[in-house]
Structure 1
Amino acid sequence: MPYGLKRYQHSEQCHFLTFSCYQRLPRLRADQLRDLFVECLERTRRSYRFRVYGYVVMPEHVHLLVSESETEVLAKAIQALKISVAQRMRHYAGVGGTFWQKRYYDHNVRNYESFVEKLRYIHRNPVKRGLVEKPEDWEWSSFRHYMTAEAGPVEIESQWTADRRNGRTLKLPQLPGE
């Protein structure tokens, strides 16, 4: 978030976040480093009890679509996530120096159309960058959750996860001929 701009945070407010590696260096280019980020994201999500609706981990930046359960939790959670990732990168991968840019971009998502637009942007980012041909081919994204309704490494807040929490199972429609 640029200095001097006021952050409007309300509980349950959805946010589209982007944060980058220091000097936009591709510090997350290796598969195991993106895996490590995803593990830290899930751990932080549980600790700070925020909801993740979508994410993508790119080689030099991350996009998240999230909402906070309590006002003021999100900034603390992102700070904790960035610290956790940087520490684990130093310890396990020997990645030294400054890992993240200091600030992050935060856009309040105010309506359904904006939510869908941001989620599509997140899922299409690896394709747009030429990293894969189809969104489902990028492992470090929430796209597969929306495509298959299966649980992944990060709990994604959707009707499917709400049903799973409440003991209901999702019935996918049968295709003709099945």
Structure 2
Amino acid sequence: MSYYRRANVAGGMYFFTVTIADRSADDLVRHIDRLRRVYRVVGEQRPFETVAICILPDHLHAIWSLPDGDADFASRWMLIKSGFSRGLPVRPPASASKLRKREKGIWQRRYWEHLTRDENDLARHIDYIHFNPVKHGLVARVQDWPHSSFHRYCRKGLLPPEWGGDVRDLSGNFGE
């Protein structure tokens, strides 16, 4: 069995990628209200600040700032993942391979986490999160993806609505 070392800095700021097992599914956006509700409830029970977030059909990216003296992001993700999964339509039985890896639910068992190092690292990850729907071809402009903290950044005047441009302009047509 593999042993994964995770960063463990109390009060740290972490970037996460959390993914569902079926990368062709759209569970996260199809059940977005459920995900938001569970995310909010867990945040009320085990506080953290969401610095940035973007929810795509099959994965999400988030940056969390944990409270001073608290480094336990793992239990928060466990509660979010299990709370979201409970009550969803029953899936066909998992393959033998997935069962061997203890992957029974809709989520991939593991997730990616990165402790942000400094302000530049944080800014790069915020940009990455906000641009992700364009990167995956879901929209041509960042502002067109509804499930992103990008809109909060715009309301606060931290980013202009046209941030990230329009990938349709990269085709050479330039609106002609």
Superposition TM-score tier, normalisation by shorter sequence: 0.7 to 0.9
Aligned to 1:57: 55
Match of 2:173 in 1: none
125, 134, 139: which is aligned to 1:127?
A: 134
Aligned to 1:37: 35
Instruction: Calculate the aligned-residue CA RMSD, in Å.
Output: 2.2
Give me the whole-angstrom Cα distance separating, in 2, the residues matched to 1:25 and 1:131. Answer: 13
Give 1:96's aligned residue: 91
For residues 142 and 34 of structure 2, what CA distance do their matches in structure 1 show? 20
Between the aligned partners of 1:87 and 1:111, the Cα distance in structure 2 is 37
Q: CA deviation at 1:118?
A: 0.4
Q: Following TM superposition, by how much is the alpha carbon of 1:135 offset from its aligned partner in structure 2, in angstroms?
A: 1.4
Partners of 1:56 and 1:123 within 8 A in 2: yes
Equivalent pair of 1:54/1:119 in contact (CA under 8 Å): yes
Quick one: which amino acid aligns to residue 24 of structure 1?
Answer: R
TM-score scaled by length of structure 2: 0.74
Contact 1:21–1:100 under 8 Å retained in 2: yes
Q: Between Structure 1 and Structure 2, whose CA radius of gyration is higher?
A: 2
Residue 22 of structure 1 is matched in structure 2 by: 21
SS at match of 1:24: coil
Change (3 A) 1:3 1:41: farther
1:137 aligned residue (144, 154, 160): 144
Identical-residue share of aligned pairs (%) = 24
Q: Secondary structure at the match of 2:27?
A: coil
CA distance in 2, matches of 1:141, 1:4: 33
- Residue in structure 2 matched with residue 76 of structure 1 by the alignment: 75
Task: Tell me which residue corresponds to 2:119.
Answer: 112
SS in 1 for 2:138: coil
What amino acid is the match of 1:66? W
SS of residue matched to 1:8: coil
The whole-number CA distance in structure 1 between the counterparts of 2:119 and 2:74 is 23
| Structure with the larger helix share | 1
What is the TM-score with the length of structure 1 in the denominator? 0.73
Tell me, yes or no, if the aligned pair for 2:30 and 2:57 is still in contact at 8 Å. no
* Number of positions where the alignment pairs a residue of Structure 1 with one of Structure 2: 145
Note the residue ranges of structure 2 that are not aligned, 5 or more in a row: 93-104, 159-176
Cα offset, 1:37, TM superposition? 1.4
